C-alpha cells in the first residue's frame, strides 16, 4: 500500500506535526510505502498537477494545510485536524471567513475521512461545522519512543517547574501569579520575551528560557524537572501531558478542553483561570510525596494509550478501510 503524506512547508522552530508523523511512519515500517510532499500556498497548484500523474492508494494530509484536499481525489483522502483553535480564538473579520472556507468548510466536506486527536476536538468539529459524526475518527498522538521513565524520588531543593509552549492560552501569566512567593524555578520552553522576563525578575521568580530544542533536549528538561505545568485555557490534545507521564513526572493540567481526556487519572486537574487552585496544586505536589508518587504511577500507566505502535495500527486500519472502499 502506498500512502502519500502532505506536510506544511518546513519552518525553523515549527515542527510538531512533522515530528508526530515521523513517529507514526517509523512505527508503520514496511507495512506502507510512504511518500512525503511539503506544500504551501505558493506551490499548491504544482503539487496538485504532479500528483495527477502519480499512483497512490491513500492521500493523507497531516494538518495545517487542509486546503490541499481541494485538489485531491476526495474518496482517497484522509485529513487530520489537530484543533480549531486558530479559527475559534484568533482570527477575525474577512480573514476568518476566508480561512473557514479554504481550511475548513470545503476540505472537510470533500475528504473521505477526518481524523482528529481528541474527542474534544471531534465534538468541536461536529457542532461547529455540522459534520456527520461517522466521518470523524479520534486517533491520538504518539509520544516519543525514547522517552523513558526516569524516577526522581526526592525533589530538588528548589523545585523545578517545566512549562512548554508559547501563546496566551498556555497560561504562563497565571502560573507566574501562582508561584509568587514560592521557592521554585521555572523552566520555560518558548521564545524569549523580554517583557515577561522583566516581570519574572520583579516578582522574584527564578527562570531559565529554552527555545528551538531538539527532541532529546526537551526530554532532558523533563528529566531535570520536578513538576510539569500544562494548564492551558485551550488545547486540541496536549502532548506535554503524555511526555511528562512517560518520563515519570507529576502533571498539573486543566479540567477543560482535551486535557482531562488525555491525562486520564494520572494528572492533577485545576481550573486554569483560578490562580489559587494552581498554587494549591503546586504546593500539594511538592509536599505530599505519597500523592505525587500515586499520580506518577497512574500517569505512567496512562501513557500506554499513546504508544507509537498503537497509533500506527489505528492509522493502518483506516488506510485499509479507505483503500477497500475505492476498490
The model's confidence at residue 273, banded by pLDDT at 50, 70 and 90, is very high
Fold (topology level) of 160-305: Rossmann fold (3.40.50)
> In angstroms, what CA-CA distances link 268 with 39, 189, 224, 227, 285?
39, 21, 20, 11, 9
Which own/partner contact pairs does 180-183 have at CB distance under 8 Å and 24+ positions apart?
Answer: 180/204, 180/205, 182/279, 182/282, 182/283, 183/158, 183/159
Cα separation of 4 and 2, whole Å?
7
Tell me what the mean pLDDT of segment 116-132 comes to.
96
Which pLDDT tens digit goes with each residue over 142-174?
Answer: 999 999 999 998 999 999 999 999 989 999 999
**pLDDT bucket at 9, cuts 50 / 70 / 90:** confident
**Whole-angstrom distance, CA of residue 327 vs CA of residue 320:** 11
The tens digit of pLDDT for each residue in 135-145 reads 999 999 999 99
Q: What is the CATH number of domain 2-142+307-325?
A: 3.40.50.2000
Nearest-angstrom CA–CA distance, 70 and 106: 7
The answer to whether 2-142+307-325 and 160-305 have equal CATH topology is: yes
- Over range 183-188, report the average pLDDT: 97
Q: How far apart (Å, rounded) are the C-alpha atoms in residues 126 and 106?
A: 14
Task: Kindly write down the DSSP assignment for every residue of 218-247, as one continuous string.
Answer: HHHHHHH-SEEEE--S--SS-HHHHHHHHH
| Predicted pLDDT of residue 15 | 64
Which residue, 189, 187, 183, is CA-closest to 283?
Answer: 183
- Report domain extents, the chain: 2-142+307-325, 160-305
Ranges 7-11, 97-101, 231-235, 237-241: which has the least confidence: 7-11
Query: For residue 14, what pLDDT is reported?
Result: 53
pLDDT at residue 179 is higher than 70: yes
Q: What's the confidence (pLDDT) of residue 212?
A: 86
Angle (nearest 5°) at CA 241 between 134 and 14: 80
For residue 202, pLDDT beyond 90: yes
Amino acid at each position: 500500500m502506498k500512502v502519500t503524506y502532505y506536510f506544511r512547508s518546513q519552518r525553523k522552530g515549527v515542527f510538531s506535526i512533522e515530528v508526530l508523523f515521523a513517529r507514526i511512519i517509523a512505527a508503520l515500517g514496511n507495512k506502507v510505502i510512504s511518500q512525503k510532499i511539503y506544500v504551501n500556498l505558493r506551490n499548491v497548484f504544482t503539487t496538485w498537477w504532479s500528483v495527477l500523474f502519480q499512483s497512490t492508494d491513500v492521500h493523507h494530509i497531516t494538518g495545517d494545510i487542509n486546503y490541499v484536499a481541494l485538489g485531491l481525489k476526495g474518496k482517497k483522502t484522509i485529513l487530520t485536524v489537530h484543533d480549531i483553535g486558530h479559527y475559534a480564538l484568533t482570527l477575525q473579520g474577512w480573514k476568518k471567513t476566508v480561512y473557514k472556507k479554504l481550511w475548513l468548510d470545503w476540505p472537510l466536506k470533500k475528504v473521505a475521512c477526518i481524523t482528529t486527536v481528541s474527542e474534544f476536538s471531534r465534538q468541536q468539529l461536529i457542532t461547529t461545522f455540522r459534520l456527520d459524526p461517522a466521518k470523524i475518527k479520534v486517533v491520538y498522538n504518539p509520544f516519543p519512543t525514547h522517552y523513558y521513565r526516569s524516577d526522581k524520588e526526592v525533589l530538588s531543593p528548589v523545585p523545578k517547574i517545566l512549562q512548554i509552549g508559547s501563546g496566551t492560552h498556555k497560561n504562563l501569566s497565571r502560573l507566574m501569579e501562582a508561584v509568587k512567593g514560592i521557592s521554585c524555578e521555572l523552566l520555560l520552553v518558548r521564545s524569549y520575551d523580554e517583557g515577561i522576563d522583566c516581570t519574572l525578575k520583579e516578582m522574584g521568580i527564578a527562570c531559565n528560557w529554552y527555545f528551538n530544542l531538539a527532541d532529546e533536549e526537551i526530554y532532558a528538561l523533563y528529566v531535570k524537572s520536578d513538576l510539569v505545568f500544562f494548564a492551558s485555557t485551550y488545547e486540541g490534545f496536549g502532548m506535554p501531558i503524555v511526555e511528562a507521564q512517560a518520563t515519570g513526572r507529576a502533571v498539573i493540567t486543566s479540567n477543560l478542553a482535551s486535557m482531562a481526556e488525555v491525562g486520564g487519572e494520572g494528572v492533577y486537574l485545576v481550573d486554569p483561570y483560578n490562580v489559587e487552585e494552581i498554587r494549591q496544586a503546586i504546593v500539594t505536589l511538592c509536599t505530599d510525596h505519597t500523592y505525587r508518587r500515586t499520580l506518577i504511577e497512574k500517569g505512567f500507566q496512562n501513557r500506554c494509550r499513546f504508544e507509537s505502535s498503537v497509533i500506527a495500527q489505528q492509522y493502518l486500519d483506516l488506510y485499509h478501510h479507505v483503500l477497500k472502499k475505492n476498490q
